[in-house]
Amino acid sequence: MAPDGPAAPGVGGGATGPLARRLEEYRFPEGYRRMFLSAAYAFAEKGFHGTTTRDIAARAGMSPAAMYAFFRSKEDALYQIAIAALDLTVEMLSAEGARSRRPADRLRDVVKILSIWYANNSPVASVVLHQLGALTPEHQAEVLSRKRAIDQVVRGVITDGVASGDFVICDVTAIETAIMSLCVDVARWYRAGGRRTPEAIGELNADLALRLVQPAPDPVR
Amino acid sequence: MAPDGPAAPGVGGGATGPLARRLEEYRFPEGYRRMFLSAAYAFAEKGFHGTTTRDIAARAGMSPAAMYAFFRSKEDALYQIAIAALDLTVEMLSAEGARSRRPADRLRDVVKILSIWYANNSPVASVVLHQLGALTPEHQAEVLSRKRAIDQVVRGVITDGVASGDFVICDVTAIETAIMSLCVDVARWYRAGGRRTPEAIGELNADLALRLVQPAPDPVR
DNA sequence: GTCTATACAGGGATAGAC
DNA sequence: GTCTATCCCTGTATAGAC
């Protein structure tokens, strides 16, 4: 699964995540994949402005100028990373949303997917969450529309549950925000090798999300 | 979801927050206060590495070198901002924790204080949450101990509530994390002039936090 | 596609006058 | 404490060989 031979220093665990697998599936050239992941992990660790093009190239085990064979600029690298990560997220959620089942189950699944994603990809996720101010306005707009698509999925599940009477809440937007907070904040506090696996975190957050949409005493239903 | 919007040019709104008032109370010289707030807002908007010392000075309406009259380096400015913000947070929370009342009321108050703080100071808060990697290891350690003090307050309220039987939860750490997620994520999504005031957000998050610690007998599960 | 070499700008920090 | 001037390193990006 991981590239054979002397693994590029610094790419490390990044080579095995969902994004890395996606890059392989889509037959991106090996050099591009290395550079892409180097950039993603460097941005995650030091931020966009704190990362130099030399850092990125060095992580990929290449010369300082090598990055420019794959990206037109450092900003372009950030842009491509953000788009790829968000598209993959949307895709995972859409596959889920297509199945029509009970709203509670769908909410469980959506929260699990997002939580696991933010845990397993916390470096890349934190880039998408906090580094996008460095993009050009045009690129920011493109990225924002994809973020909105993710919000829409969550909102859709909640409104469906309200419509069907499965969820009883007073303010859809507030609950949507709170549930997203539970999910995205995983990227801030999660550490690999911690007390809980990403899957366990997903289950836990799903439980908590359900508590938020099913207001307390409801003995007679 | 975009991390930074065009905040007021110059020092702008920053001059009126709790931190600004604190700087006045403690009789910091006017120049220092201006430079401190300039740096805080600049870091919040562009990140530590994305901010130049010239940016900071220009926001304060001074010459490029003026920052060095107050801070030994750019890193030192970040350090002082982080310490001041965290100390003030700890102080606000401690004043609250001193009163001995019902755990549910204390949890309400703690969550309200934190949520309002993260809303009213979302620029400074996002600095404290996401820019501290640029500190020296020594400074990081100092800052981390203060962050832990904040976590301790939240944890203390939860454990007290569990001990008294007011809260019924299975995993204190998990609930602590979730409640902190609700609070800190306010700094990511809050925009001044939005649908809710900081106070309303505080009330809302307090409600949600109470739902998380008082699991109702749930027939659906 | 990858390298070496390099141009060119930008930015952190200091010196010294006032 | 604030300014102007400046040093000098770092970092982005390009040129051109292989």
Domain limits of chain A? 12-69, 74-213
Residue A2 has a pLDDT of 39
Q: Give phi and psi for A171, each to the nearest 5.
A: -140, 105
A74-213 — its CATH code?
1.10.357.10
Flag whether pLDDT at A101 surpasses 90. Answer: no
Residue B123 has a pLDDT of 86
Residues of A in contact with B186 (CB under 8 A): 181
B12-213 is a CATH 1.10.357.10 domain: yes
Residue B119 has a pLDDT of 96
Distance CA A216, CA A164 (A): 18
Residue B219 has a pLDDT of 41
- Name the fold adopted by A12-69: Arc Repressor Mutant, subunit A (1.10.10)
Flag whether pLDDT at A174 surpasses 60. Answer: yes
CB distance A133–B174 less than 8 Å? no
Please give the torsion angle defined by the CA atoms of residues B66, B69, B72 and B75, in that order, rounded to the nearest 10 degrees: -40
Percent of chain A at pLDDT > 90 equals 82
Q: What is the mean pLDDT of residues A181-194?
A: 96
- For residue range A108-155, list pLDDT tens digits in order: 999 999 999 999 998 899 999 999 999 999 999 999 999 999 999 999
Distance CA B124, CA B45 (A): 10
Residue B72 has a pLDDT of 98
Residues of B in contact with A105 (CB under 8 A): none
Spell B170-185 as b/e; 16+ CB within 10 A means b: eeeebbbbbbbbbbbb
Blockwise average pLDDT, block size 10, chain B, 221 residues: 40 67 94 97 97 98 98 98 97 79 94 96 92 98 98 96 94 98 97 96 97 65 41
Nearest beta carbon to residue B185 from set A50, A134, A184: A184
Interface test with A, best of B49, B135, B181 (most A CBs within 10 A): B181
pLDDT bin (cut points 50, 70, 90) of residue A1 is very low
Nearest beta carbon to residue A185 from set B185, B205, B218: B185
Structure tokens at B116: 């309002």
Distance CA A197, CA A88 (A): 21
Nucleotide nearest to B72 (CA to C1'): C13
Find the closest chain B residue to A134 by CA distance: B46
